Structure 1
Amino acid sequence: MVKSLKAPQPEVQHSGIKTPVKETLLTPRFYTTDFEAMANLDLSSQQKEIEAVIEELRSDYNRHHFVRDEQFDKNWAEIPEKTRNAFIDFLERSCTSEFSGFLLFKELSRQLKTRQPLLAEAFQLLARDEARHAGFLNKAMADFNLSLDLGFLTKNRTYTSFKPEWIIYAVYLSEKIGYWRYITVFRHIENHPEYQYYPLFRYFENWCQDENRHGDFFKVLLRSQPQMWETWQGKLWARFFLLSVFVTHALTVYERADFYETLGLDAQEYNDRVVRKTNETSARAFPVMLDTEHPDFLPGLKKCAVLNQKLTEIEQKDRPSWLKKIQKLPLIVGIFWQFMRLYLIEPIDAEISRAEVR
């Protein structure tokens, strides 16, 4: 059983500016890449598909969606403290994640403007959507007299460098799992309106369609690079990124079980559904998909979450840092061992799976 950790108390710097959470493995990361290599990608095999996806992005179906209405005009102090703290934590992490995407896409657009103008336009449109999402989330935080200093985050976050292929794998999965996260919450609250304690959740249905379109764009990028899906190396990398995203998702969901409890959702059921659905969706882009129905797969994700929770509990205790490191080591080894066991489960050939669906 995974116990819910106590919802974190929001830390405030001054004038309602929230102190960013400490960077950990599970906090949203900021990325950069090799812009020269991205500019040299040969997209000719998917030219028509790229143009079609960009035309979808140009349509900007949600340009009038992110508008606050009168339902936001109330005093939110009535929300119980535990629920409020869990929700603020969700808002911060979501806002940081969307803003991270905005920064990456904006810089890609700027760097590719003269070399790959069509690609540069696509990234500019993606950045537009991510900025809109981040801004809407930050306005929601303002209802609780808090906000994120996005300029501070831009200058002070650690940037992780991924080569273009890794960016494509990772962002494709991030967008598609984002779709399933949002739509699962939306449909649950649609059926159980008593859990809609804040109007943001009403926006998730249209919102997740942005995530879906972004994922479709990265799917086309992936399919334009044969080495990413036709080779044995591509199959290994696809398995690695699928599993990495699923393990990270499980760790985050179980760690933040309090938030899902406020929505009337069971963290384990929610995680399992999102992982299964994202895995099914990945078969449209990746050469392989993971066997999420294997008897060891979903329990293995939960084992990783349990071990991660124990790491968090050790970190929260008042002990010397050297002692914490010693106590954490077997738990870190345990998570790595579970990851390897899950990675070695025989994957499913996505080409065969697609053929069976047809």
Structure 2
Amino acid sequence: MNAHATTHDELHAEIAEKFDTDAMAQESTLLNPRFYTTDFDEMDRIDVSPVREEWDKLIGQMKADPNKGHFKKNADWDQIDWDGMDPALKREFIDFLVSSCTAEFSGCVLYKEMKRRGTNKDICELFNYMARDEARHAGFINDALREAGVAVNLGFLTKAKKYTYFRPKFIYYATYLSEKIGYARYITIYRHLEANPEQRFHPIFKWFREWCNDEFSHGEAFALLMRTDPKLTESFTNKLWIRFFLTAVYSTMYVRDHARPEFHKALGVDIEWYDQEVYRKTSAIARQVFPVELDIDHPRWLPNLRRMEAAFRKMDAGTKQGGVAGRLRKLAGTAQAARAFASLYLIPVKKTTPPASVRMEPVY
């Protein structure tokens, strides 16, 4: 074995010793991606007849599989100097990749289970295609981690990760937002780095544009599922739930992004600007199906997001401190986070009127 190879092996061993990515992926906290299970029988009873024309067009696009050959390394994949990367950036970037890989694989596991348990041809076909896409995404991200010697054991993760039960409608709300936010995040980063290529510190960002197509079409699928039953978006109770999930998903993104300051600094983006831009894109898209929209320009919006982020830092510090003092500190942070969330939730929402047609095309 030559000296260069030995150096890479030693580097991988050093990184692997510092980053237990399997343990990182297994963590179950408010900020980490979760694995979900649901009432598969209820989902199997979905009748897509009310949206048949749009449904068949979407399924046709998924079947054509435009991204079939996209998630493969080619000449555009530059070699990364992991040894020369700033330690703080390395830690946050690996955390970003592990979190992204876990989220994509979580979708793959859920969709495969829906397909496996179902008998409804329409629903099984949809989730078969989406599971295929999410498996590619997770595998591609894991290849990037493998280069650093810290790939996640996805097979083990399936058995070791805790599963959270969500009713189907909650799966629709949360996953729709997750997919659309994924699109907004990826295209915002891609366009920024297209204009500022010197800040592209890893080649995976070059793949974000086409990746957006999968995120967008998956969101469209959940929009159509919600359109099959008007009560899912029009009843008073479900409007409150939609408002809850919008607030929870947006605030979680804010806290999670602020936990990676060096990552965003390396990209050359201000975190608050970036998050507001993603919220704005996501809100514009979500008007196709949601009857309410959060007012992200309200005077209480950013101050309470900042309070939420400070509360999570306090909770994290309390956990690390331990003992009675640590528990009290964590309790105080939890109360602060609850107050901030309540203030965000109670900001008056903007009412929207979803259009007659739900299908949209991604805007680059």
Give 1:134's aligned residue.
Answer: 138
Q: Which moved more, 1:87-96 or 1:303-312?
A: 303-312
Q: Tell me the number of residue pairs that the alignment of Structure 1 and Structure 2 aligns.
A: 341
Assess if the C-alpha contact under 8 Å between 2:46 and 2:123 holds in 1. no
Amino acid at match of 1:64: G
After superposition, where does 1:269-288 map in structure 2 within 5 Å? 269-288=273-292
Closer, same or farther: CA 17–295 of 1 in aligned 2, 3 Å: closer
Give the alignment partner of residue 49 of structure 1, picking from 50, 54, 67.
54
Matched, 1:191 2:177: no
Matched, 1:268 2:262: no
Q: How far did residue 111 of structure 1 move?
A: 1.1
Assess if the C-alpha contact under 8 Å between 2:226 and 2:232 holds in 1. yes
Give 1:20's aligned residue.
Answer: 23
After superposition, where does 1:177-216 map in structure 2 within 5 Å? 177-216=181-220
Tell me the distance in 2 between the aligned counterparts of 1:176 and 1:283.
12
Assess if the C-alpha contact under 8 Å between 1:251 and 1:305 holds in 2. yes
Give 2:156's aligned residue.
Answer: 152
Q: Deviations over 1:29-62 (max 9, x none)?
A: 0001001111122332112222121112112111
Amino acid at match of 1:210: D
Closer, same or farther: CA 295–61 of 1 in aligned 2, 3 Å: same
Tell me the distance in 2 between the aligned counterparts of 1:343 and 1:75.
42
Closer, same or farther: CA 301–179 of 1 in aligned 2, 3 Å: same
Amino acid at match of 2:23: P
Assess if the C-alpha contact under 8 Å between 1:272 and 1:298 holds in 2. no
Amino acid at match of 1:61: P
Matched, 1:107 2:109: no
TM-score, scaled relative to structure 1: 0.90
Give 1:313's aligned residue.
Answer: 317
Amino acid at match of 1:181: R
Give 2:338's aligned residue.
Answer: 336
SS in 1 for 2:23: coil
Tell me the distance in 2 between the aligned counterparts of 1:339 and 1:220.
29
Q: How far did residue 299 of structure 1 move?
A: 2.3
Amino acid at match of 1:325: R
Assess if the C-alpha contact under 8 Å between 2:78 and 2:203 holds in 1. no
Amino acid at match of 2:21: K
SS in 2 for 1:19: helix
Amino acid at match of 2:117: Q
Tell me the distance in 2 between the aligned counterparts of 1:73 and 1:351.
46
Amino acid at match of 1:316: K
Closer, same or farther: CA 30–193 of 1 in aligned 2, 3 Å: same
Give 1:33's aligned residue.
Answer: 38
Matched, 1:249 2:266: no
Closer, same or farther: CA 330–72 of 1 in aligned 2, 3 Å: same
Assess if the C-alpha contact under 8 Å between 1:12 and 1:19 holds in 2. no
Assess if the C-alpha contact under 8 Å between 1:79 and 1:197 holds in 2. no
Q: Deviations over 1:284-339 (max 9, x none)?
A: 1111111112111122212211211122222233x31x332211212211111111
Tell me the distance in 1 between the aligned counterparts of 2:285 and 2:217.
13
Matched, 1:175 2:179: yes
Give 2:304's aligned residue.
Answer: 300
Q: How far did residue 71 of structure 1 move?
A: 4.2
Tell me the distance in 1 between the aligned counterparts of 2:349 and 2:240.
10
Give 1:60's aligned residue.
Answer: 65
SS in 2 for 1:284: coil
Tell me the distance in 2 between the aligned counterparts of 1:67 and 1:353.
37
SS in 2 for 1:103: helix
Closer, same or farther: CA 57–353 of 1 in aligned 2, 3 Å: closer
Closer, same or farther: CA 111–344 of 1 in aligned 2, 3 Å: same
Matched, 1:84 2:87: no
Percent sequence identity is 39
Assess if the C-alpha contact under 8 Å between 1:17 and 1:149 holds in 2. no
Give 1:72's aligned residue.
Answer: 77
Assess if the C-alpha contact under 8 Å between 1:178 and 1:208 holds in 2. yes
Matched, 1:219 2:223: yes
TM-score, scaled relative to structure 2: 0.89
Q: How far did residue 11 of structure 1 move?
A: 7.4
Tell me the distance in 1 between the aligned counterparts of 2:164 and 2:241.
18
- Residue segments in structure 2 that go unaligned for 5+ positions in a row: 1-13, 357-364
Give the RMSD, CA atoms, in angstroms: 2.1
Give 2:359's aligned residue.
Answer: none
Q: How far did residue 146 of structure 1 move?
A: 1.5
Assess if the C-alpha contact under 8 Å between 2:319 and 2:327 holds in 1. no
